């Protein structure tokens, strides 16, 4: 490739126009794109054998050691190893190429993303004590190591559009003024409150966070499967399958969802109700907490294309239009199940507008859309992005969320 001069270099849908030759592209950038491609290949079982057979584990080990300064490269490498570890036939090769020591070392990382990727890989390698399989995008926030405490319930976190398994659930960022005033409490800041605060306040839980592709595709848009992949229905089936393999549904569950993640939770529970093999999940769902979920749509979907794409860059825009028939049907069907199964429900609604670029401020999900129609609705003086990011451990937002989880699981976690 280095011999080709000029033109457009395209990799996995990311168009990178380079005026000069490819030799001027930093090697780290090339590695990063190659690793992103390998992440996708490692999700395909038959491709995993090819990666290992062609010396992939040793090559990844070498790049890992060379790129100690790049969190992104190291995280992608561990993600690939975690995917390979889903295949028991490859465990011996993973052990022999020295990955156990590296994963144990990364488990101690102060960065929640790295530690969680390593925890997932180790859980997939642990045949003795872990019977669950953690597919790509399902992360154990707690417990991340073997624990003698019995797990009595699961709490599951589902992000919204443009969200992620970790960044959606971080503590609210402090501004410079607050940091000056509260210098002594700077160390209390957490990158992920469900990992740092929840297990300490509510033991005997397994805390999982789910990541799914919520906007543009993993592959090029020309891929024929793409239109289907972007639909709520496709994601629901895909995630239900992953969660089943992770053992979700075998014990009491509380779902926690932000924005469009709440629509996905409703769709998953609806799909579960129609699947004889998923009845256990439905029976074990004890509570659902919604943070600014657009049950009845959002005005954002009616904005101009350029503004809309900042928040909704894909097909979901159609699904999110205010009063859309699809949303209304989803809600009516879900309410029937929720009442029949007596799910506990708590909803939070934003009351402050969100800055969309430098010019526009908008209430993304108005309280009337965030009101499911059952359970309690609490309006909070925050914007759409910060509704699921409590400022501190003793803030109302966190304390009320914790109280809901404890009440929903009360008879199980106190046994």
Average pLDDT of the segment spanning 178-200:
68
Query: Which of 33-41's residues contact partners 24+ apart within 8 Å by CB, and which partners?
Result: 35/63, 35/73, 35/76, 35/77, 35/80, 36/11, 36/12, 36/76, 37/11, 37/12, 38/76, 38/80, 39/76, 39/79, 39/80, 39/83, 39/136, 40/12, 40/218, 40/219
Residues 83/39, Cβ–Cβ less than 8 Å: yes
Every domain of the chain and the residues it spans: 25-131, 137-415
- Residue 49's alpha-carbon distances to 62, 90, 251, 376, 405, in angstroms, are 19, 8, 34, 51, 42
What would the pLDDT profile of 113-141 be if each residue is shown by its tens digit? 999 999 999 999 998 888 899 999 999 99
Position 267 pLDDT exceeds 50: yes
Domain 25-131 identical in fold to domain 137-415 = no
> Edge-to-edge strand order for the sheet containing 376-380?
138-142, 205-210, 153-158, 253-258, 285-291, 344-350, 376-380
Q: Which residues contact 200 (CB under 8 A, 6 or more apart)?
A: none
What would the pLDDT profile of 292-311 be if each residue is shown by its tens digit? 998 987 766 555 455 555 55
State residue 415's pLDDT score.
Answer: 56
* Token pair listed for 245: 């393999």
- Considering the segment(s) 25-131 as one domain, its CATH architecture is Alpha Horseshoe (1.25)
Average pLDDT of the segment spanning 309-333:
66
Q: Strands 8-11, 354-356: parallel, antiparallel or unpaired by DSSP?
A: unpaired
Instruction: Classify 157 as helix, strand or coil.
Output: strand
pTM: 0.85
State residue 251's pLDDT score.
Answer: 94
Q: Which fold has domain 137-415?
A: Rossmann fold (3.40.50)
């Amino acid at each position: 490739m280095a011999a080709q001069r000029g033109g457009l270099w395209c990799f996995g849908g990311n168009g990178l126009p380079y005026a000069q030759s490819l030799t001027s592209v930093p090697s780290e950038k090339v590695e990063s794109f190659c690793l992103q491609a390998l992440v996708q290949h490692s999700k395909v079982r038959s491709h995993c054998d090819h990666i290992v057979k062609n010396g992939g584990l040793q090559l990844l080990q070498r790049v890992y050691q060379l790129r100690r300064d790049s969190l992104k490269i190291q995280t992608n490498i561990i993600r690939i190893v975690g995917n390979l570890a889903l295949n028991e036939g490859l465990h011996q090769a993973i052990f022999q190429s020295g990955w156990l020591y590296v994963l144990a070392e990364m488990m101690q990382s102060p960065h929640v993303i790295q530690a969680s990727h390593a925890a997932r890989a180790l859980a997939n390698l642990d045949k003795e004590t872990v019977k669950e399989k953690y597919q790509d995008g399902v992360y154990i926030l707690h417990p991340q190591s073997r624990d003698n405490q019995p797990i009595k319930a699961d709490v599951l976190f589902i992000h919204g559009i443009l969200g992620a398994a970790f960044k959606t659930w971080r503590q609210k960022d402090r501004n410079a003024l607050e940091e000056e005033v509260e210098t002594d409490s700077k160390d209390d800041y957490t990158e992920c409150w469900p990992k740092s605060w929840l297990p300490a306040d509510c033991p005997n839980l397994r805390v999982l966070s789910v990541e799914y592709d919520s906007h543009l595709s993993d592959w090029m848009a020309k891929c024929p499967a793409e239109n289907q992949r972007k639909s709520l229905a496709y994601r629901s089936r895909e995630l239900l399958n992953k969660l089943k393999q992770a053992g979700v549904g075998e014990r009491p569950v509380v779902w926690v969802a932000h924005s469009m993640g709440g629509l996905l939770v409703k769709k998953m529970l609806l799909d579960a109700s129609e699947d004889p093999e998923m009845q256990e999940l439905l029976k074990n769902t004890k509570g659902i907490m919604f943070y600014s979920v657009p049950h009845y749509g959002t005005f954002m979907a009616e904005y101009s294309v350029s503004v809309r794409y900042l928040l909704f860059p894909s097909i979901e825009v159609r699904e999110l239009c205010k009063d859309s028939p699809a949303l209304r049907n989803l809600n009516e069907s879900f309410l029937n199940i929720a009442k029949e199964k007596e799910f506990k429900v708590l909803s939070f609604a934003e009351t402050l507008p969100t800055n969309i670029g430098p010019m526009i401020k908008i209430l993304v999900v108005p309280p009337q859309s965030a009101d499911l129609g059952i359970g309690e609705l609490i309006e909070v003086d925050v914007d759409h992005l910060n509704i699921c990011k409590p400022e501190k451990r003793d803030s109302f937002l966190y304390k009320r969320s914790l109280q809901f989880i404890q009440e929903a699981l009360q008879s199980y976690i106190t046994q």
